[in-house]
Structure 1
Amino acid sequence: MSSLYETELSLSVDSATSFRYEMAALAHPTAATAAVRFTGTMRTSTRSFPRLIAAHAAQGRHRWQIGGESGDGRTAFIVPPDTEFSAEFGHLHLRTFSVTTEVIEHVLRALLGDEPRRIQFSGLNKRAGNPRLVAETLRFLEATALADGKVAASPLMRSQLMHQAVASLVTAFPLIDADETDQRRPTARAVRRAVAFMEENVGNPISIGDIAVAAGTSVRALQSAFHKAYEIPPSTYLRRLRIEGAHHELRAAHPGSATVRDVAMRWGFAHTGRFAQLYAAMYGEHPSHTLRR
């Protein structure tokens, strides 16, 4: 655990005979997700973590103290970097996501369309707007990135999941002042830049935030401009480009040399059934029919 969270953790167990521990984790240089299960009662503490950590106790008892705050782990919570942390828990199933401040700043620049003000770390848990969103995101990370080796092995899927997790943190917790909004209006040229960026990078692990940065505007403003120009959000446009890429790959593949699931995964679709529905809506047939031709 100390290596995963990049800090020294003090751990003490009430009864070693009844204590058991297991962990599944996926680590990246800038982010990591993990699911930890304990039996027995345990205490842990550290002077600080180098990254921001989001956590949620899916099962068991969990009480935490973070700086001057305290709370119950049954509600998703955040441990800011460089903040003292301690917790006591028993028979616990804990899900976590850790991320560097630099990645959070990148997402905020995309959302705001400009360099954001200093990130606010004080009193985050007391002022949380929608911690349930973070709890659901952590559950999804465990069900995909930690449960499916092909998801974990796909750079596109890993990047999409990381951006989704960071976006949920930015949405659920007041990391910036409420009046930190983007005032710039995107032009038709910005929309064209966004389209060109998506077409050039459709097979790469890009997010809507990356597209907004390339277009020189914010995510919110870009979404508004896209609705005006195409009557769909940019995320739908990107998804259609990726389905088109999967279509070309399925048509070119020899039967037996590829599967629909493998192709879907390469193009960023973790759920084959959902991919098949979207594919059929665009091409009027199941992707397996295209593959067999």
Structure 2
Amino acid sequence: MGAPSRDPGEPLAGHAVMNTADVDEAQHVVTEVYVRHELDSLGGRPLDARLNCVASERMTLGYLVYGANASLDLPPLESCYHVNLTLSGNTRVTRRGGRDHAITAGGRSGAVLLPTEHSTVTWTPEATQFAMKFNRGPLEEHLGSLLGRPIHDPLDFDVTMDLTTGPGAALLAAVRFLQTEMDRPGGIAEAPLARAQLETYVMTALLHGVPHQYTEALHAPVGEDRPALVRRAVDYIEAHAADAFTVPQLARHLGVSTRTLQVSFARNVGVSPSEYVRDVRLARVHADLVAASPSDTSVTERAAAWGFLHQGRFSEQYRRKYGQLPSQTLRQG
């Protein structure tokens, strides 16, 4: 059976990667672009499946259609968050064995799947969605930059969001703007720096548009700025992350006692100076591996370049922060 024709006016039509009636082919392509899952067409009916998408190290934005009653079963995503903004039709989403559940409606709501939770998603034949994958590292680091402190735990987003008002509507508008620019000849697809800024804006809109455990801190009124001591310490750490230095040496450079530095970080950053240094260095390794070629890059060498000499400990710290081993990041980069 031939694949159905594509509407040239649909979002991201110039970035088509799938157009099929076959369930197995659709499962394979969507797994390659997003995450592994099991796909069933209820009743064994053929699909009218289409996927158009663009991807970067920060996020994947796709326009996804199954064109039939379809059911997806997804294990924990591990290294990413998946966000669906329903544009037409309906979907039903469950997480945590059904304890979290939502029904999304076109133009009104969407859903979030988590790195740590099993999920199911069922689609009506009319359902179309912006399907987005946000890699954990860039999203959590961006939240950390907004809060001024590292993020150590996966984000526990609510299962659904309202796209009709407030921050949810701003999220949908940001995604539509990114999609429009990617579709426009001469748009940001041809301007990498501008595209990065707009993708970062979409991440900000997501963090504000869907409640999570850091929402209160993110929306809190801006009060006193960090003490000058912490600002100076953070600036030094960011600039000298590749240098070998200890926390006592950092304290001496700043002209304070080690205890004073530790207390100031605990009160104003939420982690110790050594934890902050470690997270900055992990982020630098992650950025190197994402940008590198597996054929001429060694995880051991990149880790050592940023001060990680114990490979077993480094790999475990990296896995806890990014949800995958560094070798996996390198292969996917």
What range is the shorter-chain TM-score in? 0.5 to 0.7
Alignment RMSD (CA, Å): 3.1
Q: Would the aligned equivalents of 1:39 and 1:91 in 2 still touch at CA under 8 Å?
A: yes
Q: Structure 1's 184 and 22: CA in aligned 2 closer, same or farther, altered over 3 A? A: same
Q: Give the drift of 1:32.
A: 0.9
| Counterpart among 72, 89, 94 of residue 65 in structure 1 | 94
User: Counterpart in 1 of 2:156?
Assistant: 121
Which residue type is aligned with residue 111 of structure 2? F
Structure 2 unaligned segments of length 5 or more: list them: 1-29, 232-333
Q: Tell which deviates more after alignment, 57-66 or 15-24.
A: 15-24
What is the rounded CA distance, in whole Å, between the counterparts of 1:46 and 1:111 in structure 2?
A: 30
Which of 32, 36, 47 lines up with 1:19 in the alignment?
A: 47
Give 2:33's aligned residue: 4
1:166 CA displacement: 0.5
* Comparing 18-27 and 137-146, the one that deviates more: 137-146
Structure 1 equivalent of residue 263 of structure 2: none
TM-score normalised over the length of structure 2: 0.49
User: Could you tell me the TM-score, scaled by structure 1's length?
Assistant: 0.55
Alignment partner of 2:61: what SS?
Answer: strand
Distance (whole Å) between structure 2 residues aligned to residue 156 and residue 125 of structure 1: 31
Instruction: Give CA-to-partner distance per residue, 1:147-202, whole Å, 9 cap, x none.
Output: 55742232123202210110001111233151465654279xx9xxxxxxxxxxxx
Paired residues, number: 188
Partner secondary structure for residue 66 of structure 2 = strand
Q: Is the 8 A contact 1:24 1:146 kept in 2?
A: no
Contact 2:58 2:199 in 1 (8 A): no
Q: How far is the alpha carbon of 1:122 from its aligned partner?
A: 5.6
| Alignment match of 2:143 (pick from 108, 114, 120) | 108
Once the two structures are superposed, what CA deviation does each residue of 1:213-261 show, in whole Å capped at 9, x if it has no partner?
A: xxxxxxxxxxxxxxxxxxxxxxxxxxxxxxxxxxxxxxxxxxxxxxxxx
Q: Tell me the secondary structure at the aligned position of residue 150 of structure 2.
A: coil
The AA in structure 1 aligned to 2:200 is: H
2:134 alignment partner in structure 1: 99
Inter-CA distance 21–122: structure 2 relative to 1 (3 Å threshold)? closer
1:173 aligns with 2:210: yes
- Give per-residue Cα distances to partners, 1:30-76, cap 9 Å, x unaligned: 31110112212111111122311221110122111122311122212
1:65-214 counterparts in 2 under 5 A? Answer: 65-67=94-96, 68-74=99-105, 75-89=109-123, 90-116=125-151, 118-121=153-156, 123=158, 125=160, 130-146=167-183, 148=185, 150-175=187-212, 176=214, 178-179=216-217, 183-185=223-225
Distance in 2, matches of 1:104 and 1:55, equals 16
Query: What's the counterpart of residue 83 of structure 2?
Result: 54
Cα displacement (A) at 1:133 = 2.6
Question: Equivalents in 2 of 1:165, 1:98: separation in Å?
Answer: 12
Mapped partners of 1:160, 1:177: distance in 2: 22
Contact persistence 2:49–2:64 (CA under 8 A) = yes
Q: How far is the alpha carbon of 1:146 from its aligned partner?
A: 4.6
Q: CA deviation at 1:82?
A: 2.5
Aligned to 1:34: 62
The answer as to whether partners of 1:36 and 1:95 remain within 8 angstroms in 2 is yes
* Paired residue type of 2:91: H
For the 8 Å contact 1:127–1:174, the answer to whether it is kept is no
Distance between the aligned counterparts of 1:126 and 1:17, measured in 2?
31
Cα gap change, 1:160 to 1:71, in 2 (>3 Å):
same
In structure 2, relative to structure 1, the CA distance for the partners of 1:16 and 1:173 (3 Å cut) is same
Secondary structure in 1 matching 2:199:
helix
Q: Is the 8 A contact 1:55 1:96 kept in 2?
A: yes
Letter in 2 for 1:171: H
Look up the SS of the partner of 1:145 in the other structure.
Answer: helix
Q: Which residue of 2 aligns with 1:291?
A: none
Is the contact made by 1:2 and 1:8 (CA closer than 8 Å) also made in structure 2?
A: yes
Partners of 2:53 and 2:161 in 1: CA distance = 28
Q: Which runs of 5+ in 1 are unaligned?
A: 191-293
CA gap 1:97/1:149 in 2 versus in 1, 3 angstroms? farther
